[in-house]
Amino acid sequence: MSDLLTQKENTLVQHPDGSYIFGAIPDMPKFGLPGGKIYLRIGIHRRANSGFGVVHIWEAHRADLLKHGCQTVDGVAAIVAKMIVPGAQIYCEFKEQRCGNRVAVLRTSMGTLILEPRHERATGFGYFVVTWYPQKRAHGTLVGQIPRAPSNQK
């Protein structure tokens, strides 16, 4: 059994580079969207369309992840990291959730990540990965793109 599956659901997952930050969403004042760092948590899978984080992504989309070379739950963080790259497009449907507007990060070769804005005591404001799916077209309005990371960000 993976060590990830023994952790609490809100535990942050490490990026393959060893940090806990997977990238950043830039400030987009034109759309009323604040910037923030991107985090991935262990998460939980309750049922179809209900859950968040690594466990939810693995349980809900295992067959599709296998097609992308992700053989175990431990490989999910690497898939997420490969999607949050400079130039990846950011979309927003502007459907207000209880925490604010969710955004989608689209990398056409790999699918779409859904991120939720949250303010956490330990990290402050940031975006947390809710799920991934293989659909290569995001819904909503194109609001920006992932910026190049400053060398001191991670």
152 lies in some domain: no
Its pTM surpasses 0.85: yes
pLDDT in tens, the chain (154 residues): 678 778 889 999 999 999 999 999 999 999 999 999 999 999 998 877 778 999 999 999 999 999 989 999 999 999 999 999 999 999 988 876 656 677 878 776 889 999 999 998 888 999 999 999 888 777 888 999 998 866 554 4
Domain that holds residue 113: 3-145
Q: Is residue 12 part of a domain?
A: yes
Q: Is residue 49 part of a domain?
A: yes
Answer yes or no: is 150 within a domain: no
Q: Residue 150 has what pLDDT?
A: 61
Using the CB atoms, write b or e for 56-82: b if 16+ within 10 Å: bbbbbbeebbeebebeebebbbebbbb
Q: How many domains does the chain have?
A: 1
Give residue 56's Cα distance to chain centre.
Answer: 12
CA–CA distance, 131 with 79 (Å, rounded to integer): 12
